[in-house]
Amino acid sequence: MKTIPLAEAVKLKSVLTKKIPELIQEIHLVSHVIIEKGETPKSSGRLLKDVEAELEQVRKDARTLDRLIYRANIDNTINFKGEELPIVEAIELASQLRAEASLCKDLGKSEKERLYSGRDNVVLYQVALYDPIVYRQKANELEKEAHRLSNLINAKNYQVEVEFDDSNYF
């Protein structure tokens, strides 16, 4: 059986996911024609059965790719900061690092102290209980870590091969 890099399998899965609604729309288009009473209906495009068969094959291939991608993401690991992580865990960690970096960026945008409000001759201040500069720096470091991890994931995705014949699509 032919093999393709995991990265290509992921891209192909995305292509197939977009192709399914297109084929469903085509089914709606080719399943009806407008004719005058008494005329014989003629197909204006592909036959309904051909589009249905293609849809069935695309759905089957999408399921197969899901299985292969999930298995590869569990069975293959990435070494990040001295720890072996399955690809699936590394993907989740990269997402978490980006989310944490985003939170730190938000906290880093704050002022250390700013006028909050003043009434009845009372002046109030909003005071950050942390150092915004530290959080800006932490956000930068977390983003760098997320980028490094993503690069490792991408590299691994080109090293790992899955058994799939993509000749129907490429």
* For range 109-126, the mean pLDDT: 85
pLDDT of residue 170: 87
Residue 47, phi-psi category: left (phi > 0), alpha (psi -120 to 50), beta (remainder): beta
pLDDT of 29 over the 80 cut: yes
Residue in 167, 163, 160 with CA at minimum distance from that of residue 7 = 160
Mean pLDDT, the chain, rounded, equals 95
Distances, alpha carbon 73 to alpha carbons 101, 102, 154, in Å: 24, 26, 12
pLDDT of residue 89: 98
pLDDT digits (tens, 9 = 90+) for 61-116: 999 999 999 999 999 999 999 999 999 999 999 999 999 999 999 999 999 999 87
pLDDT of residue 25: 97
Question: Residue ranges per domain, the chain?
Answer: 3-163
What number of other Cβ atoms are within 10 A of residue 153's Cβ?
20
pLDDT of 120 over the 80 cut: no
pLDDT of 42 over the 90 cut: no
pLDDT of 45 over the 90 cut: no
Cα(170)–Cα(165) distance, rounded to whole angstroms?
10
Confidence (pTM) = 0.84
- 75-111 CB burial, b ≥16 within 10 A, e <16: ebbbebeeeebebbbbbebbeebbebbeebbebbeee
* For range 42-54, the mean pLDDT: 91
pLDDT of 117 over the 80 cut: no
pLDDT of residue 154: 97
pLDDT of 7 over the 80 cut: yes
> Are 111 and 131 contacting, i.e. CB atoms less than 8 angstroms apart?
no
Which two tokens mark 159? 């090293």
> Are 73 and 9 contacting, i.e. CB atoms less than 8 angstroms apart?
no
